Homo-oligomer: A and B are copies of this chain.
């Protein structure tokens, strides 16, 4: 048997969720031999898109950087409006160690891309999560505070980890880092009441007393006339997707509202699907061995 390759996942987030031609160009730029383009998820309300790539270090780095060049050229943040906070045209570039890869290697990959972004695209680069060089940059929400509009002022007292100390005029700045697998999970409520979504987000979010592995924001999704609790499950094996959803359902109910739909942005590992079946079917021994397409001899 040949040794299985060392794989990384990269899920760059772009500040464009509406113009199909721009989204197509970004996706096309990422088509590098050896890299699997697993999906491009765009949201017109967030005005944002998530590209999911999987590959070995060298081809993946090329695919990611090509997509960054394209996005930086085609997206002008001065004209950008959306519900999701952002600091750049290429807003966040997370690398995730996958098959055979270590977090240390994912960090190296993030620094490699950061150097190129600073040098070739003149982007101020913040290293976040596992790649953070300063404690105040570990948390992505802190890096993004003030957004694109506040970037000039912010760079005066918080210089980037790499690249120029002034924002790129149209593409802003970029956060790059290595992190563990994360599930981006949005839950829609049967109301346009943003206050309700904020209360629920606050109850569920770990930083305000909720579930440890959950980050949460309230979003107004005008195209649907509904609000959304937009969550990141940052340690889904410990704080599972079903438990986060049930807490949102419970809190919504308490306020007189109901969950009407949910969605995952990007992809999720099969282990999270196992959690769902185990929890809702009360089937403790459900795993991939139970699934015909996934069972091994």
Q: Which A residues are closer than 8 A to B by beta carbons?
A: 9, 36-39, 52, 54, 98, 241-242, 245, 259-264, 267-270, 273, 276-277, 279-286, 289-297
Contact = CB atoms under 8 A, between A and B. Distances in A.
Given A273-B291, A292-B54, A283 B267 contact: no
19 contacts: A36-B295, A36-B296, A38-B292, A38-B295, A39-B289, A54-B292, A98-B292, A261-B282, A263-B283, A263-B285, A264-B283, A264-B290, A267-B289, A267-B292, A267-B295, A270-B292, A273-B273, A276-B280, A294-B294
Given A54-B292, A241-B281, A267-B295, 7 more contacts: A39-B289, A267-B291, A267-B292, A268-B290, A269-B292, A273-B291, A276-B276
A280 B276 CA distance: 8
Contact of A291 (B259, B268, B283): B268
The 10 A-B residue pairs with the shortest CB-CB distance in the complex, in nearest-first order: A280-B280, A36-B297, A38-B295, A267-B292, A270-B293, A262-B283, A262-B281, A261-B282, A269-B292, A276-B277
Contacts of A37: 297
Nearest to A279: B280
A270 B54 CA distance: 22
Contacts of A264: 283, 286, 290
Nearest to A269: B292
Contacts of A279: 280
B270 A291 contact: yes
B263 A295 contact: no
Contact of A269 (B9, B262, B293): B293
Contacts of A273: 273, 277, 291
Contacts of A259: 282
A2 to B, nearest CB: 18
Contact of A290 (B36, B242, B267, B289): B267
A276 B268 CA distance: 15
Nearest to A265: B290
Nearest to A280: B280
A284, A291, A295, A296 — most chain B CB neighbours (10 Å): A291
Nearest to A41: B290
A269 B9 CA distance: 27
Nearest to A277: B276
Contacts of A54: 292
Contacts of A268: 290-292
